[in-house]
Structure 1
Amino acid sequence: MLLNVSRWRCDALIVDRAEIRAVPLPDLTSGEAARWADEHLKSMRALDAASGNPLLVINAERRLAALLRRLSETVTGPVLDSIPERPRRIWWCPTGPLTMLPLHAASGDTDPALAPGSDAGPRDGPTPPGNLLIIAVPKAPDAAPLPNVDAERAFLTREFPHHTLLHDARRESARDALSRHTRVHFACHATQNLVAPYEAGFVLQDGLLSLTDLLAQPPSQGELAVLSACQTATGGITHLDEVITLANALHHTGWRHVIATQFSVWDDAAARFTELLYPLLSEQADPAEAVHAAVRILRDAYPNSPSRWAPYLHTGP
């Protein structure tokens, strides 16, 4: 679903094997989309700063829920209603200010998947198990501690007897290990600079493993990257259609499936998502369906707290 936003009109282009079909979005304007994106970014910043204030958290959750309703009424709902038989998978490909909005979470019972950019390409056979690379940094210098990173690490080392653990990982060891593994799980802080998105990165023990560091990696045969960190699928506001994110950097270098977050996530919610995700991954071959199932469990558990489930999305085939 290619979502086009312009000052003249807004439409969705539905691309399937048989045809390309336009669906008008008369209730969406480029001005409204820009205003929603601005409000969403302000709301997420307020949520980041509100963790110690329950009233501020409740207000931010209400604003996020209202945004998801608006997106469903004006964008995803009309598109999905125009499809006689709902497909098993849908890829949302937004443009303009819609790239900053959680469309994947406003899609009802469809796949919470967002697939901007190019596909890493088909590969034969199922995803091989391989060793899991675990990059865990519970306390980076000058960053707030993440106590639940240790819970993620403990869970993953139990679930995957064959693993490589980089606890308190450093940049050089992380870059080297990434080139030798086909599965990776990041559990750490991540940052995004909305004005200079190439400055995004994972916060490791000796500094930032940056987006440019990832793009400089040799082409990868990686199958699955799980980015359990904040804003790993957040783009910049200066080049909206370029979608410059940590998730896309990994996908661009060859990682086939990337599971990431469109805005900040709660530390305990990230650990819970990890505990739900991996058993689901072992049950079904499609990582996007595993993400969808994990998100639905969290959504059912926290219907009034969308910040606990709305950030998560899948990029890939």
Structure 2
Amino acid sequence: MSWARNAAICEDETLIDAYRTALRILERHVAAVPPSQRLEIVGNDISSLASKAFSQCFAHGALETAVELLEQGRTVLWSHLSRFQTPLDDLSGLNTLGESLSVEFRKLSTALRQTQDPLEFYKLKKEWEDVIKRIREFPGFSRFLLYPLYADLEKAAQCGPVIIVNASVYSCEALIIFQQRYPFPIPFELSPAALSRLSEQFREVTEGPAPAEQKRNEIVFILRKLWTAVVEPIVDALVKRFFLPRRSRIWLCPTGEFMRLPLHAAGLYSKKGAKLTDYYVPSYTPTLAALIRSRQGITMSQHDHIRERFLAIGQHSPYEGKELRSVPDELNALKGLVAPTMDFTVLEGDAATTGNVLEAFKRNGWVHLACHGRPNPNEPFESSFAMRNGPLTLTEIIKANLPSAEFAFLSACHTAVPDEWTPDEMIHLAAGMQFSGFRGVIGTMWAVDDSVVKYMVTAFYDELLKDGRKLDASRAAEALHKAIKRVSNDKTVPLEQRIVLIHIGI
């Protein structure tokens, strides 16, 4: 780590090699300890290493390397979990040995994911690494579980550009990624210190008490600043340089303090003022690899029927916290829209327990959660949804086997709030649901008003099912985009409630 730090100070020619080496050491260090200890290592020892590496590579014109190192460093925790969930259908189909290794890999991966015994962990990890070594001997598997190269990562942009919006202690910048095209750099004049002040200001206005008009004015000020300093230069490049048609899909991949700001809602908010949503349909992705995985879909036809099932979960009276009185109305509205089109199940009240919900996840491809969200900024994998008998944690959801997860709408507070310890990794409930297999997720960046969110929910599903269409996760971003425009015409809905929802994934 000190090599990278000193090389940056001295502008040494070994700078990029120093960051590459530091990230490789970090990855091996994290891989060598049980899962329960990894968050502490990443949070305490290497805060923001990946975003620093990106900024330095960006400054030296090594743009493809910047993407590779950012992806490597941002996914230290997620990648070790995803490696235990890697599909091996292609390997199984090669021959008997391939099938045997595939079975052994899955068995060891499950055991590694579940064990809490350090001695057993080290023993299993040695066996797991031996199996990986043997798998890499097969043709086409030489890079199995190795970090992808830029040529692989740019596939995330196959359906539209992905824009990395990076913040480090050195600088703030964006990089537009198209498939089969060299990435396009956009340096910002916004300083890291100014960005931190903007982020803190936004946190205060969304969390603190203030008269409605004052809150709106402060939010508009921040959204205008985001537009002029960050988003407008990106839109100008997309429109004037790349001629990207209006209403195209784009994906935002923010890091650091940018993860805490509503880039999707940036705009001038005046009569003739521009907004990002006037031009494009924005979604988010935690990483490029996460978006690529979400697009891979489900290959096992025996689970196709589960994808056509809808589960509505409502917990208006959880084990702790205030009662959510609008949840029953939200579920009734949902039932009226969705039940006529597909298999529809409701779990609510006393039936919405942690165990029942986890089991129901496995039997339904579409999930709607109306409940309290409980972010845990110090232990993000213990963030949870409040059920009748206790918290349903992100860790429990990740451990569950969800082979047919398709889409999740998280109608709960703070489901897309990044934690405080790992600024290089987007660890929150919405990202965890995507990691667990849901190809698309709608989450919330701050607190939602229980009495207002039902209007957003109704508008979203109405748009998704318009003209007799079936539910389709690939149209969710556009449906949310249109739903927000519909609700925005209702001036009784506060601005912060109109922009609280974000879409993640395909």
Q: If the length of structure 2 is used for normalisation, what is the TM-score?
A: 0.58
CA distance 1:150–1:238, change in 2 (3 Å):
same
SS in 1 for 2:391: strand
Aligned equivalent of 1:24, options 163, 173, 187: 187
| Mapped partners of 2:386, 2:185: distance in 1 | 42
1:95 aligns with 2:255: yes
Unaligned ranges ≥5, structure 2: 1-162, 267-275
**Superposition deviation, residue 225 in structure 1:** 0.5
Contact 1:302–1:308 (CA<8 Å) still a contact in 2?
no
Contact 1:186–1:228 (CA<8 Å) still a contact in 2?
yes
**Superposition deviation, residue 310 in structure 1:** 0.9
| Mapped partners of 2:327, 2:257: distance in 1 | 32
1:248 aligns with 2:431: yes
Aligned to 2:494: 305
**Superposition deviation, residue 91 in structure 1:** 0.5
**Equivalence map 1:73-88=2 (5 Å):** 73-83=228-238, 84=240, 85-87=243-245, 88=248
Greater shift, 168-177 or 85-94, is seen at 85-94
1:165 aligns with 2:346: yes
| Mapped partners of 1:62, 1:171: distance in 2 | 41
Aligned to 1:314: 503
SS in 2 for 1:221: coil
| Mapped partners of 1:132, 1:246: distance in 2 | 20
Aligned to 2:480: 291
RMSD over aligned Cα, in angstroms? 2.1
More strand by share: 1
1:122 aligns with 2:296: yes
Q: If the length of structure 1 is used for normalisation, what is the TM-score?
A: 0.91
| Mapped partners of 2:377, 2:361: distance in 1 | 26
**Superposition deviation, residue 192 in structure 1:** 1.0
1:45 aligns with 2:224: no
Aligned to 1:267: 450
SS in 1 for 2:202: helix
Aligned to 1:185: 368
| Mapped partners of 1:89, 1:3: distance in 2 | 16
SS in 2 for 1:179: helix
Contact 2:317–2:324 (CA<8 Å) still a contact in 1?
yes
* Bigger Rg, structure 1 or 2: 2
SS in 1 for 2:251: coil
Aligned to 1:230: 413
- Percent identity between the two aligned chains: 28
1:9 aligns with 2:194: no
| Mapped partners of 1:252, 1:20: distance in 2 | 26
Aligned to 2:61: none
Aligned to 2:323: 145
| Mapped partners of 1:172, 1:306: distance in 2 | 37
**Superposition deviation, residue 58 in structure 1:** 3.0
**Superposition deviation, residue 60 in structure 1:** 2.4
**Superposition deviation, residue 61 in structure 1:** 2.6
**Superposition deviation, residue 142 in structure 1:** 2.9
Aligned to 1:133: 311
1:70 aligns with 2:225: yes
| Mapped partners of 2:488, 2:497: distance in 1 | 8
| Mapped partners of 2:493, 2:464: distance in 1 | 26
